[in-house]
Structure 1
Amino acid sequence: MEEKFIGAHVSISGGIYQAVNRAYQLQATAFAMFTNNPLRWFASPLPSEELDNFRRNCQIYNYSSDQILVHSSYLINLGHPKKCGLEQSRLALFDELKRCEKLGLSLLNIHPGNHLQSDVKQCLLRIADSINIALEKSQSITIVIENTAGQGTNVGFCFEHLATIIQHIEDKSRIGVCIDTCHAFVSGYDLSHVESCQNTFEKFDNIIGLKYLRGLHLNDTKYHLGSRVDRHENIGMGKIGKRAFSWIISDKRFNNIPIILETTNKNLWIKEISWLRSLNKSPHNK
């Protein structure tokens, strides 16, 4: 199996098992997907036939759970300051975990939440409490917290926020982080040069720890460093440029985790994946 798991966030239109087919058609060695509509709180249980088809397709095309990063609903806010909103979000997260377990998957990517003008530290503690409750109710899933761009009242845009959440997780073997390159850049972490990439991930290691890195979202950005505006762009077509992505693929510390494109023009995905995989096969990566 390749050292780098590289793919894109593919559609589940027509059935969740179709996500596997679409990843294979992209010649991807990883993929991300939703398990339901990300703009709905809950969904009907997945039919047993669809579960069987998904697992069968993963076996046929050699995708293990380590190569698949499920993305949770956009509506979930685990730091909601009001009880009703918090409970609804916690129930929705538990539903996401159950769906992952039925699919035989192990990585669930979540957005941490929004403080909604409440105290930020208390929001981070509510997020940690929410994750602890969810992990207690599930058995095999690792929850992977994605850094945010810092828009509005987002928390999780700085490494210190993520470190605070992790600090208060009881079972640290089942918590991780997914770094989105667009979000990191617009929240103030420079990735436009090799040296700045090295500095950014050195900060990540010092503040959080690279052992917690369980996924990457590779996205260029339409907006400048520190703008806190979340607008993805295709690789090399935005403010970051190609250097960061080439550096990430060349660094063995990012082996064996899902590396996922969420770039805007899906017609370029197969070209982007091919380019990234070619970097992994180049002599300096051997």
Structure 2
Amino acid sequence: MIVLGGQLSTAKGLDYAIFHAAQYGLGTLQVFSRSPVGGQSKPLPKTGTVTGWLEQAHIRPFFVHAPYFVNPAATEPLMKNRARVVLSEEMIRVKRLHGDYLILHPGHQQETSIEESLDALSQTIRYILKKPGFVLIENAAGQGRELGASLDDLARLFAHLGRLRRVGFLLDTAHAMAFGYALTTADDVSRFFDQLDQKIGLKRLKGIHLNDNMYPIGTKRDRHAHLLTGQMHPEGLKKLLALANGQNWPIILETPGKDMVARHQDLEVIAQLTGHELKMS
């Protein structure tokens, strides 16, 4: 059975997001604990209250996405310190929300070599892991000076991290296609996951952001699109869904829209390709 979920807005409250997910029969959920683009963080509900909501809605795992306004690969001292402070606070917030994972974009290379940037990123990850919790590194699209778009760069990052146990990988399909990895046919998907296993290890993969990309493969341009409206084809998507089902990788939709009403067409595509039963109570 596919563990299916989505990125949902908490503008109406975390409880609303959790029970909206349950209304659609979702088994996992992703939120931001604060504005992703800056500003003061808001107070959180009590931990016990959130735990009750999650249990009642049968939501697990529960993902929290780190904000975008810090650069965890920064080497400049002020920017590096800001990233460490904000992300350490975010680790605490994830724990208070009874979340399972903090998802982190690798950040951007500054006026340093890629190796120095990857080393800076690994040091920041080690720093924030002084707090309890589990960090997932999400692959980037390769726009500008983004780090972590290629499997080779990600492999080098994990080599820097060594045997740290509380760090893993989260795959974004739109970002992978933007960088140049075709996920069009079943063979394309099989080849990609073979490479992922060889370079990073499938055991590190803890979830998939399932998104189409409106821009052509390899353009390093990222704009999420509804499934099968961009570069994805039914054959490749069906294969990817079968792998996710077989490996029990949670799937999170980040296609356009702030709720599952806007993503109903994506749920229908998944249902048609897998037989996954749509639920709307």
Matched to 2:225, the amino acid is: E
Residue equivalent to 1:14 = 12
Give structure 1 regions of 4+ aligned residues with deviation exceeding 6 angstroms.
none
| Aligned length, in residue pairs | 274
Pick the aligned partner of 1:191 from 179, 183, 191: 183
* Secondary structure, aligned partner of 2:161: coil
Gaps of 5+ in 2: 277-281
1:235-250 aligned at under 5 Å gives the runs 235-250=227-242
Does the aligned pair in 2 maintain the 1:117–1:153 contact within 8 Å? no
What one-letter code is carried by the residue in structure 2 that aligns with 1:11?
S
Q: 1:53 is matched with which residue?
A: 49
Alignment partner of 1:125 is 2:123? no
Q: 1:219 offset after TM fit, Å? A: 0.6
**Shift in Å, 1:280:** 4.3
Q: Is the 8 A contact 1:5 1:255 kept in 2?
A: no
- Contact 1:248-1:254 at 8 Å conserved across structures: no
Q: Distance in 1 between matches of 2:70 and 2:237?
A: 29
CA distance in 2, matches of 1:178, 1:134: 18
Query: Are 1:36 and 2:34 an aligned pair?
Result: yes
Aligned counterparts of 1:119 and 1:252: Cα–Cα separation in 2: 35
Alignment pair present for 1:156 and 2:148: yes
Looking at structure 2, the residues matched to 86 and 42 of structure 1 have their Cα atoms a distance apart, in angstroms, of 19
Structure 1 portions without partners, runs of 5+: none
Which of 6, 23, 30 lines up with 2:21 in the alignment? 23
> Is residue 146 from structure 1 mapped to residue 138 from structure 2 by the alignment?
yes
- Quote how far apart the aligned CAs of 1:241 are: 2.4
Query: Structure 2 counterpart of 1:186, which letter?
Result: A
- Of 72, 77, 88, the match for 1:83: 77
Please name the residue that 1:209 is paired with.
201
Distance 1:110 1:180, change over 3 A: same
- TM-score normalised over the length of structure 1: 0.89
Q: 1:255 to 1:269 in 2, by over 3 A?
A: farther
Contact 2:138 2:169 in 1 (8 A): yes
> Hey, what does 1:112 align to over in structure 2?
106
Deviations 1:171-203 (A, max 9, x none): 532111111111001101110111111111111
Asked if 1 retains the 8 angstrom alpha-carbon contact of 2:244 and 2:251, the reply is no
- Report the 3-state secondary structure (helix = DSSP H, G, I; strand = E; otherwise coil) of the residue aligned with 1:191: coil
- TM-score, normalised by the number of residues in structure 2: 0.91
The alpha-carbon distance between structure 1 residues 68 and 273, as it changes in their structure 2 partners (threshold 3 A), is farther
TM-superposed CA distance for 1:160, in Å, is: 1.4
Q: Which moved more, 1:148-157 or 1:117-126?
A: 117-126
Q: Secondary structure at the match of 2:5?
A: strand
Counterpart check, 1:226 vs 2:224: no
Asked if 2 retains the 8 angstrom alpha-carbon contact of 1:78 and 1:130, the reply is yes
8 A Cα contact 1:147 1:158, kept in partner: yes
Equivalent residue number for residue 247 of structure 2: 255
Query: 2-side partners of 1:63 and 1:165: how far apart?
Result: 31
Distance in 1 separating the partners of 2:52 and 2:236:
36
For the residue of structure 2 that corresponds to 1:124, the secondary structure is helix
Give yes or no for contact 1:149–1:183 (8 Å, CA) kept in 2: yes
Tell me which moved more, 102-111 or 247-256.
247-256
Q: Distance in 2 between matches of 1:272 and 1:53?
A: 31
Matched, 1:63 2:55: no
Per-residue displacement from partner, 1:11-50 (whole Å, max 9, x unpaired)? 11122222201211222121111111111165144243xx
For residue 67 of structure 2, the aligned residue among 73, 97, 114 is 73
**Deviation string for 1:82-118 (max 9, x for gaps)?**
1000110111111110011111112111101101342
CA distance in 2, matches of 1:41, 1:202: 41
Q: Within 1, Cα distance between the matches of 2:162 and 2:98?
A: 23
